[in-house]
Amino acid sequence: MVEFGMPMGPFRLLDLVGFGVAAATGEASGKGFYIYDDKRKASIDPEIAKYVEKSRRLSGFAPDSTIAGLTDKDIVEMLFFPVVNETCRILDEGISVKFPDLDIASIMGMGFPSYRGGILFWADTMGTNYVYSRLMTWCKLYGGFFKPCDYLAERAIRGLSLGARIDQVKSQL
C-alpha cells in the first residue's frame, strides 16, 4: 500500500490508531502487528505469527494457496475496489452528487494518493467493467462483501464511466 502511494498500510494504521480500541473489546495483550524502535520505525513483530496461527486454528481457517499468490496489484485492488463500490453507493443514494467531491474527500480524508486523482478517478482509469468483473469474481470466491452495487453494475453494463450521469439525482443533504 505504501508503494501504491498510501502513507501507510492497513496493519500499521490499525496499530497506530485503532488497535487499542480493537484490543479493548477483547482481551488486551498490549501487542500489535509491529514493534517500534525509539524513532518509531516499525518492523514486523515476530510474536504475531503465533497469534495469527491460533486465530486460524480457532476459526478453522486454512491458508489458501491462491491468496498466498496474490500480486501487489491484486492486494491494492482487493483493498480499494470495495471502497470504490461504497463510494458508488454514496453517489447512487444521493448522499453526494458530485463525483469530484468524493475524489477530494478520498485524498483529504483517507490519504488516497493525490497523484492518482482520487478513488473514483483512479477506478475510472481501469474502467468500470474491469472493476465490476474483479468484484464479481471475488464475490463468487469470498462472499457478499465484494458484491458490486447497482450503480457500478449499471455503468459497467452500459460501458459508462463512474462519473457519467444516467439520470439526475438530488442530494439528500
Note whether 135 and 85 are within 8 A (CB): yes
Q: Which three cell numbers stand for residue 136?
A: 464479481
Question: What pLDDT score was predicted for residue 26?
Answer: 44
Question: What pLDDT score was predicted for residue 169?
Answer: 44
The phi-psi region of residue 171 (left if phi > 0; otherwise alpha if psi is between -120 and 50; otherwise beta) is beta
Question: What pLDDT score was predicted for residue 144?
Answer: 92
Instruction: Say how far apart CA 134 and CA 77 lie, in whole Å.
Output: 8
* Mean pLDDT within 18-45: 69
Nearest to 82 by CA among 134, 7, 19: 134
CATH topology for the 68-158 domain: N-(1-d-carboxylethyl)-l-norvaline Dehydrogenase; domain 2 (1.10.1040)
Of 135 and 25, the one with more pLDDT: 135
**What secondary structure does DSSP assign to 108-124, as a single string?**
HHH---GGGT-HHHHHH
List Cα–Cα distances, 111 to 1, 4, 81, 134, 173, in angstroms: 11, 12, 16, 24, 24
Where in the chain are all domains bearing CATH 1.10.1040.50?
A: 68-158
Question: What pLDDT score was predicted for residue 43?
Answer: 81
> pLDDT tier at 22 (50, 70, 90 boundaries)?
low
Instruction: Say how far apart CA 158 and CA 155 lie, in whole Å.
Output: 5
Q: Which of 35-44, 72-81, 131-140 has the lowest mean pLDDT?
A: 35-44
pLDDT in tens, 99-153: 899 999 999 988 899 999 999 999 999 999 999 999 999 999 889 999 999 999 9
pLDDT in tens, 48-74: 878 778 887 888 777 676 777 889 999
CA quadruple 123, 128, 133, 138: dihedral positive or negative?
positive
Residue type, 109: G
pLDDT in tens, 11-20: 777 776 666 6
| End-to-end CA separation in angstroms for the chain | 33
pTM: predicted TM-score of the whole model, two decimal places: 0.71
Note whether 122 and 59 are within 8 A (CB): no
